[in-house]
Amino acid sequence: MSWVYWVLGGLNVLMWGSIAIIFTANAGKIGILHRTREETAGRQPYISVVIAARNEQKALERCVESLMNQTYDPLEVIVVNDRSEDGTGAIAAKLAQAYPNVTALDVRDLPEQWMGKSHALFQGTKMAKGEWLLFTDADILFQPSCIAKAVAYMDRHELDHLTMIPDFIGPHALSKWYASFIFMSASSFGQLWKIKDPKASHSLGVGAFNLVKREAYEKIGTHEAFSYVTTDDAELGKRIKQGGYRQDAVYGTRMIGVWNWYESLSQLIGSVEKSVFSYPKAVITAVSCLLTMIYPWIGLFIGPLSARVLCGVSIISVLWLYFIYARYSGSGFWYGIAHPLIGLILTIGGFRGAYRAGRRGGMTWRGTTYDRTHLKA
């Protein structure tokens, strides 16, 4: 029986230890936007910011106000009210009256084989006048120089697409811990430093900030090409990279922030359903989380001493990964202690999502139920 403990401990050391070494050696190659100077070599392109907003009356006004305070001038904002049931539409209309470069658009119906957000963003692009498009969310807060620095970064590196990992702000600690896990994993296992390499297949798209040249967006087929994919932001990044366009991902600390990504534990658990809405996926998620995120912490107290040491090395590697990620991203240095808790949340969320999707006949996200038959994550 001892060999089981050694195998589990050894596999975790191999996985977490090796990725910790690789990430430590390469994390400094990932761009940090606030270090970029605002100057651009050529003319300033006109940018259309497209916001998909569904039931965002708490956050929308702050988001648009932060965009109106940008130091970058050639800018318009298109707020797409996606079938909201609260005061979002009225707030969007008020903002459009207050600012000449803000346009409000109401979407009342959702066609089949479309995700709500993708459809709203696509409708917004039809009204957009910009050469470049910035897709963002209604709960994002932009620092005044954010877009100017992003344009300068794209110009300097000759990019077609720039995405950004934001700060996660607000009082809800679980939301910050979860975000840290998601983007630490994207940075290390996803090898974020390779995204800028045209020869590498690595890509990323983050819903908070996807700045893309309109030509590239249209060449990949717009949101119509992936209208029924739950992870539309990542799919956008993937298709742009596959299309042969130049792309990069940077840390947006001090430049862009998400206010309370999820406001409660139930919201956070429910968010897992967006990606895990079938029992096979739930089982894979659970086994992965139990063996690699939860077991090392349990393994400290069971099995032979040598196996416990292996678990201890795995945990140190995990904590070090979070430390390195925090050093560059602005996240909390100590967030790694929540690692097994996030694994438990993902496990519970996966089975809950599969159960709810089966009972309701589809995956439910933001009040809309989507048929699972052709839905992709």
pLDDT tens by residue, 339-361: 999 999 999 999 999 999 999 98
CA distance 312 to 309: 5
Q: What's the rounded mean pLDDT across residues 72-85?
A: 96
Q: What residues contact residue 287 under an 8 Å CB cut-off, 6+ apart?
A: none
Query: For position 82, what pLDDT does the model report?
Result: 97
Tell me: pLDDT of 1 over 80: no
Asked if residue 255 lies in contact with residue 164, where contact means CB atoms within 8 angstroms, the answer is yes
Tell me: pLDDT of 39 over 80: no
Query: For position 333, what pLDDT does the model report?
Result: 95
CA distance 42 to 155: 8
pLDDT tens by residue, 49-71: 999 999 999 999 999 999 999 99
Closest to 180 in 3D by CA, of 21, 331, 3, 1: 331
Closest to 218 in 3D by CA, of 113, 131, 112, 106: 131
Q: What's the rounded mean pLDDT across residues 1-26?
A: 95
C-alpha distances in angstroms, 200 versus 29, 190, 238, 244?
15, 11, 12, 10
The DSSP bridge partners found for residue 163 are 210, 249
Q: What residues contact residue 328 under an 8 Å CB cut-off, 6+ apart?
A: 27, 28, 30, 32, 251, 253
Query: For position 140, what pLDDT does the model report?
Result: 97
Closest to 34 in 3D by CA, of 199, 209, 219, 250: 250
For residue 94 the two structure tokens come to: 């008020």
> CA 41: distance to chain centroid?
30
CA distance 3 to 7: 6
Instruction: Please name the amino acid found at residue 207.
Output: G
Query: For position 41, what pLDDT does the model report?
Result: 66
pLDDT tens by residue, 81-132: 999 999 999 999 999 999 999 999 999 999 999 999 999 999 999 999 999 9
Tell me: pLDDT of 6 over 90: yes
Tell me: pLDDT of 264 over 90: no
Task: Calculate the average pLDDT of the chain.
Answer: 95
What separation, in Å, do the N-terminal and C-terminal C-alpha atoms of the chain show? 38
Query: For position 374, what pLDDT does the model report?
Result: 84
DSSP string, 219-278: HTTTGGGGTTBS-HHHHHHHHHHHTT--EEEEE-TTTEEEE-SSSSHHHHHHHGGGT--S
Q: What's the rounded mean pLDDT across residues 168-191?
A: 95
pLDDT band at 372 (very low <50, low <70, confident <90, very high): confident
Q: What is the reported pTM? A: 0.95
